[in-house]
Amino acid sequence: MLTAPTARIRLPAGVRDFLPAAAARRRALTERLLGEFERYGFERIITPLFECADVLERGLGADARAAAIRFVEPVTGEVVALRPDITPQVARLVATRMAGARGPIRLCYEGAVARMATGARGQREILQAGVELYGAGSPDGDAEVIAVAASALAAAGVPEARLEVGHVALVRHALDSVAEEGQRAALALALRKKDRGGVARAASGLARPLRGLIEALPTLFGEPADVLARARALRLPGPVKRAVDGVEAVLDATGEAAGRALGPGGITLDLGEVRGFDYYSGVRLAGYVAGAGDAVLRGGRYDHLAARYGHPARAIGFAADIEGMAEAQSKAGLPLPPRADGVLVAAVKDRRREAGRVAAALRAAGHRAAVDLSGTRNRRALAAYAAESGFSHVLELGRDAAHWIREGGATAPVSAAALRRAMGDGASLALPAAPREARRD
């Protein structure tokens, strides 16, 4: 028999358990986000945890393909992959099973994704909730998803929520215009860090108009009107100018919806962001909140994605990082969701069967209820166990009477008539006020 030191009970790197309080925070946050998505007309779907690797990888960018965890499915012998992203699964579903559906199609989801490389918090398993809008172009489709993203950030309830809007056109044009691969890679790295000195050094030797654009990219972020004005002052080719005009049209179409959700300064513009320039086809989004070291929401437009599964369709969406939002909530001191009232029914030996009927009657009336199975706890121990196990009340069926047991073991009587009514006609047994304890996740 293995002893504790030799058994080495452990989890794989990058995954974790969530005990009841932490799980409650994440469940509540997930349901709040999904509720916001549904308010905008998005419908929930569920996609599989793993898929055939060659099919899933059609819709993944280079980074996500490298992060996919693959294995051989033992029954079929096929190589399958755990999903590192849910977006390509939605693209497959829309392009195949929903190919004949009238657009626009509004879908939302929640679930875990698994990645080979660990994220900012050392994670390989990440909880996500997101939306996908198919069949709607810009500016109206972009504006709707921006409004949903702003509402999602606001729903997290964390201070200093900010939604950054961008467009890939400027960075894509700049990097595609650099012929030498090493110089292009150095520029991309410096742009990712917004290192103005590094960008200037990496752009050395380029023609003046291109160098001027590249050196301006790390500065093109901030208040939208100001960034648009500075971008228009640059020498931009026609398609890039039209993209800048398109960003302004999107922000105008968003109207007050996103700003109302996040407040003044809640929407910023970044036209020099390099992340995702090779994956997105237009507008891109990133959401930030206080207490999170990286974006807790990412997305954008990917009009090419469904075509990889045989059915071209315009699309835009985003995924919210549930764990990142939950950690930010905890750091900000936001309270955990309150536990629902629950009743632990304890009974002396002769009334055990009656305790089961009382618990069933309480459940029928809409309460959480369970029978204490130990049969040996004193009142103080019952109260302590109930508090630890998520029960707000303890009902004790003694030999001659019934009592509510309060914190510390004090009691309050329950009439026999009230118990009979609860068991006889399903009437709710009035629960006394219960203290709301502070819980930490």
pLDDT in tens, the chain (441 residues): 455 555 689 988 888 999 999 999 999 999 999 999 999 999 999 999 999 999 999 999 888 888 899 999 999 999 999 999 999 999 999 999 999 999 899 999 999 999 887 666 667 899 999 999 999 999 999 999 999 999 999 999 998 999 999 999 999 999 999 999 999 999 999 999 999 999 999 999 898 889 999 999 999 999 999 999 999 999 899 999 999 999 999 999 987 777 788 888 899 999 999 888 788 999 999 999 999 989 999 999 999 999 999 999 999 999 999 999 999 999 999 999 888 888 999 998 888 888 998 999 888 888 899 999 987 788 889 989 998 888 989 999 988 889 898 877 778 888 878 777 777 766 667 778 766 555 667
Is residue 187 within 8 Å of 234, Cβ to Cβ?
Answer: no
Phi and psi at 3, nearest 5°, equal -95, 165
Do 263 and 293 share a structural domain?
yes
Cα 112 from chain centroid (whole Å)? 9
Is residue 57 within 8 Å of 102, Cβ to Cβ?
Answer: no
Residue 309 belongs to a domain: yes
CB-based contacts of 313: which residues, under 8 Å, 6+ apart? 94, 95, 103, 134, 135, 303, 306, 307
The number of distinct structural domains making up the chain is: 2
Q: Spell 273-299 as b/e; 16+ CB within 10 A means b.
A: bbbbbebbbbbbbbbbbebbeebbbbb
Domain holding 95: CATH number? Answer: 3.30.930.10
What is the model's pLDDT at position 285? 96
Residue 126 belongs to a domain: yes
Residue 354 belongs to a domain: yes
Which residues form the domain of 87? 20-331
What is the model's pLDDT at position 5? 57
**Which of the 8 DSSP states describes residue 276?**
T
Do 309 and 195 share a structural domain?
yes
Do 239 and 350 share a structural domain?
no
Do 265 and 364 share a structural domain?
no
Do 264 and 191 share a structural domain?
yes
Element housing 320 (H / E): strand 315-321
Do 355 and 299 share a structural domain?
no
First to last CA, the chain: 34
Is residue 84 within 8 Å of 47, Cβ to Cβ?
Answer: no
Do 27 and 97 share a structural domain?
yes
pTM: 0.88
Is residue 210 within 8 Å of 174, Cβ to Cβ?
Answer: yes
User: Cα separation of 290 and 267, whole Å?
Assistant: 15
Residue 13 belongs to a domain: no
Residue 226 belongs to a domain: yes
Residue 234 belongs to a domain: yes
**Which of the 8 DSSP states describes residue 334?**
P
User: Cα separation of 192 and 144, whole Å?
Assistant: 28
Residue 431 belongs to a domain: no
Token couple for 265? 């300064």
Q: Point out which residues pair with 251 in neighbouring strands.
A: none
| Of 103, 158, 86, 55, nearest in space to 319 by CA | 86
Is residue 270 within 8 Å of 250, Cβ to Cβ?
Answer: no
Last residue of a domain, one of 331, 354, 380: 331
What is the model's pLDDT at position 436? 58
Last residue of a domain, one of 262, 297, 331: 331
Do 93 and 58 share a structural domain?
yes
Domain holding 371: CATH number? Answer: 3.40.50.800
Do 251 and 347 share a structural domain?
no
Do 324 and 371 share a structural domain?
no
Do 247 and 167 share a structural domain?
yes
Residue 437 belongs to a domain: no
Do 384 and 308 share a structural domain?
no
Last residue of a domain, one of 279, 308, 331: 331
Is residue 369 within 8 Å of 359, Cβ to Cβ?
Answer: yes
